[in-house]
Amino acid sequence: MRHQSGFTLLEVLVAMSILAVAITTLLQLSSQNLRLLRLSGEHQDAVLLADRLAREAQPEGEGVQSGREGPYGWERRVSLVAVPAEQSPPSGAAPQLFSVAVSVRWGSGRLVDVATLRASMAPSQGTAAQ
């Protein structure tokens, strides 16, 4: 009887099974990485939009604005922040301090909030609303 070298059918099947599991796992990881990359890009776009909207705000008074840009819906809230008298300048017009909060929503419940404070000179007494 001759001794033959090589792989048995069982060894080949086991090797193919291991290879199939490894390839399937790599494909799933690649798919998940692409999904996370897309979500990261959307989040970055939302943060850039919120930052731009907060910087563009020129607060004159309190109020709420909202709108849409592409897949993103946004809301900007401006509210007056009370400044203690001891932090006001001794002479001249005291600046008003406004809180600017921007919320950007997109997709299925995704949300980004950006908040900042902005100073604005108080309107002079002669131009106050009547």
Domain of 98 in residue numbering reads as: 9-124
What is the reported pTM? Answer: 0.68
- 107 sits in the region (left: phi over 0; alpha: psi -120 to 50; else beta) called left
State how many domains the chain has: 1
Within a domain: 3: no
Neighbouring CB atoms inside 10 A of 77's CB total 16
pLDDT tens sequence across 75-99: 999 999 887 777 777 777 777 889 9
Taking alpha carbons only, the member of 118, 117, 122 closest to residue 94 is: 122
pLDDT score for 72: 96
Beta strand spans in 2-126 (E): 63-69, 72-81, 95-106, 110-121
Within a domain: 4: no
Within a domain: 1: no
Within a domain: 23: yes
